[in-house]
């Protein structure tokens, strides 16, 4: 039988244990309840903060959001760059064997459009070529010979840009070929051009034989030449190959209409020498290559001309031009184009989107190979 003293002691111990456990339980459960409540409150606050204005965000959260925004922007920029690159690769006409045709024009100033594999690449306008597809701007390329002469101490030129030009299409298909002829009435001379277009290693090549025959003496002549002009936008730089040396000249561009200079007038280039110009927007290079020249007298004697003058006209971007001059004379000592003589110049017109001028020499090697 348990003594009353022991029983009371046991009861006191049990009660003490129960009270201790209750205190311990209360001490454990209260922090747990606070933690859960805090977590819920923080979660709720985070949700509310995300919907609030940026000024209510904590600094660390603000920084994180900014970083995510930057990453998203970077991805978008990368995508745009890739799209632009792909679009720039679509400038060339993709087809099988190159095939040239012509298309009629409703424009009274344009004789016909030249098409390569169905794409319009240039338009033939009387004595000129216009609207080169792969060169931005309003280029004007005279394929006929031009005459610069002095009258009343002023320089003037006869371009043969007459309304009546007799054009005959000779061939189309793998290459396009035509002739054009006109009679210039004011100074009484015949002007002819034989033009042939074809491709070499993917490059468009235009080969021209330009000739002029006076019906009477044409006096006070200082220039006899062909040109490729930039009516607007001008050239960024021009260059000419003289023997093994390439001379580069930066061009002026102010946007105003004024004469700046003629470059290279004191130089001579031999056969397959060239003069070139880079468009101001740095997108394309145009080149004129001297192939051969001769002067045929009325009785049939032929004088070969092995060296001619490359000239670049700088007009501050108003109408820059690159030119090949069969005759380049001083104003004080002009020449006379003689009645019955024939003045001929054979040359190539090249154009490419490539930078620099190394591609010109490589293409000339192909044109000059047997």
pLDDT confidence of residue 45: 34
Mean pLDDT of all residues in 169-198: 95
The pTM of the full predicted model, rounded to 2 decimals, is: 0.74
Same domain for 49 and 163, yes or no, is no
Which CATH number is 179's domain given?
2.70.98
Q: Tokens 């840009």 — which residue? A: 161
**CA-CA distance, 166 to 152, in Å (whole number)?**
33
331 with 200, same domain: the answer is yes
- The domain boundary residue, chosen from 90, 108, 124: 90
Q: How confident is the model at residue 74 (pLDDT cuts 50, 70, 90)?
A: very low
Instruction: Answer yes or no: do 149 and 266 share one domain.
Output: yes
Domain boundary among 26, 61, 90: 90
How far from 50 is each of 42, 54, 271, CA to CA, in Å? 12, 8, 76
Same domain, residue pair 50 and 176: no
Whether residues 329 and 216 fall in one domain: yes
Separation of alpha carbons 197 and 194, rounded Å:
10
Q: How many domains does the chain have?
A: 2
DSSP string, 192-237: EEEEEEEEETTEEEEEEEEEEEESS-EEEEEEEEEEEEESSS-EEE
Q: Tell me the pLDDT of the chain averaged across its residues.
A: 79
Q: Is the pLDDT of residue 201 over 60?
A: yes
Asked, for residue 23, whether it belongs to a domain, the answer is no
Residues 47, 152 share a domain: no
Q: What is the dihedral of CA 275, 280, 285, 287, to 10 degrees?
A: -30
Pick from 310, 352, 306, 314: which is nearest to 328 by CA? Answer: 310
Sign of CA dihedral 224, 235, 113, 186: negative
Is 179 a domain residue?
A: yes
d(CA 310, CA 339): 26
Distance of CA 40 to CAs 36, 53, 297, 339, Å?
6, 21, 106, 106
Give the integer Cα–Cα distance in Å for 90 and 281.
19
Residues 217 and 235 in one domain: yes
Q: Does 163 map to a domain?
A: yes
Residue 297 has pLDDT above 60, yes or no: yes
Query: 240 has which bridge partners?
Result: 247, 275
Asked if residue 308 is part of any domain, the answer here is yes
pLDDT digits (tens, 9 = 90+) for 205-243: 999 999 999 999 999 999 999 999 988 789 999 999 999
State pLDDT tens for residues 127-155: 999 988 878 777 889 999 999 999 999 99
Residue 230, domain extent = 100-368
Residue 5 falls within a domain, yes or no? Answer: no
Is 26 part of any domain? no
Do residues 144 and 62 share a domain?
A: no
Pair (302, 337) in one structural domain: yes
User: Is 2:11 a contact under the CB 8 Å cutoff?
Assistant: no
pLDDT reading at 173 higher than 90? yes
pLDDT at 328 over 50: yes
Q: Tell me: the pLDDT tens digits for 342-368?
A: 999 999 999 998 888 999 999 999 998
């Amino acid at each position: 039988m348990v003594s009353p003293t022991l029983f009371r002691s046991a009861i006191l111990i049990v009660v003490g244990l129960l009270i201790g456990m209750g205190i311990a339980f209360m001490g454990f459960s209260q922090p747990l309840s606070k933690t859960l409540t805090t977590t819920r409150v923080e979660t709720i606050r985070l949700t509310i903060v995300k919907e609030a204005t940026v000024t209510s965000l904590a600094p660390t959260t603000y920084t994180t959001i900014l970083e995510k925004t930057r990453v998203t922007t970077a991805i978008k920029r990368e995508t745009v760059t890739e799209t632009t690159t792909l679009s720039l690769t679509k400038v060339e006409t993709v087809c099988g064997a190159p095939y040239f045709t012509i298309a009629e024009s409703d424009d009274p100033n344009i004789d016909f459009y030249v098409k390569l594999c169905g794409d319009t690449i240039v338009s033939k306008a009387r004595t000129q070529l216009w609207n080169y597809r792969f060169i931005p701007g309003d280029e004007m390329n005279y394929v006929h010979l031009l005459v610069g002469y002095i009258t009343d101490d002023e320089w003037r030129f006869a371009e043969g840009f007459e309304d009546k030009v007799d054009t005959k299409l000779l061939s189309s298909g793998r290459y396009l070929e035509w002739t054009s002829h006109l009679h210039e009435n004011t100074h009484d001379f015949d002007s002819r051009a034989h033009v042939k277009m074809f491709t070499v290693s993917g490059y468009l090549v235009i080969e021209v034989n330009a000739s002029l025959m006076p019906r009477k003496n044409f006096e006070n002549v200082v220039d006899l030449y062909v040109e490729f002009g930039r009516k607007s936008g001008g050239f960024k730089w021009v260059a000419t190959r003289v023997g093994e040396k390439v001379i580069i000249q930066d061009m002026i561009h102010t946007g105003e209409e004024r004469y700046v200079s003629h470059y290279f007038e004191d130089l001579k280039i031999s056969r397959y020498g060239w003069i070139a110009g880079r468009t101001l927007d740095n997108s394309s290079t145009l080149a004129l290559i001297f192939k051969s020249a001769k002067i045929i007298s009325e009785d049939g004697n032929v004088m070969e001309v092995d060296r001619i003058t490359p000239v670049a006209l700088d007009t501050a971007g108003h109408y820059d031009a690159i030119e090949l001059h069969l005759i380049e004379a001083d104003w004080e000592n002009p020449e006379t184009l003689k009645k019955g003589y024939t003045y001929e110049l054979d040359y190539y017109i090249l154009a490419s989107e490539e930078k620099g001028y190394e591609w010109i020499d490589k293409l000339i090697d192909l044109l000059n190979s047997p």
